[in-house]
Structure 1
Amino acid sequence: MFKLHKHLFIVSLTLLSGACAMAQSNLTSYKCDDLAEISVQWQDDKALLQVGKTQKISLVHVRAASGARYANNQHEIWEHHGELRWTDKNGTVHLCKPTLP
């Protein structure tokens, strides 16, 4: 009986670790042409843009002819072919490439 519980425990941990990895796989980090480092947590119809360590900006999905576009009244991100164009609240456009994990 103890061996069965031990195996069930190991299987449970394996499944949980897989679920955590899947949840984190929607997070992409980028380095921009001006050396800014940002990350985006992709969700179904939203994206959470993190600039620096503290600024988190919620964006909603908007229609795009190609790629994925998210925006609010101050920021816009547009992901296309693995690269990201981020327009900040000052209108500055940053071209960003994903960083390796």
Structure 2
Amino acid sequence: MIDGTYTAVVDRFEDNLAVVLLENDGETVDETVFDRERLPEDGRHAGAVLTVELEDEDVVDIIYEERETVDRSEQAQQRFDELSQRPPTAGDTEDESDTS
């Protein structure tokens, strides 16, 4: 891991470990593992968005980003809802020439 400040997303938990994806400019650039207890209490769930600061390859700070977490969750739900809608079929639209 390169020193700096990253947006991170909790991907999953394996026992007492949190697998976290590090992002830079919206792209996943690395994956790391933290003890679950190292995460802020309100950020101990899959999908939690964090700001992670690294210095000398050590974690200096981890901050839970509640607003970003909610925004991403809402965006994902909206995409899911759009994809789950049945596409219109020919029978779903009225043909204007059939009206009298």
Shorter-chain TM-score: what band?
0.3 to 0.5
With structure 1 as the length reference, what TM-score do the two structures score? 0.35
Greater length-normalized contact order (CA 8 Å, ≥ 6 residues apart): 2
Looking at secondary structure, tell me which structure has more helix per residue: 2
For the pair shown, the structure with the greater C-alpha radius of gyration is 2
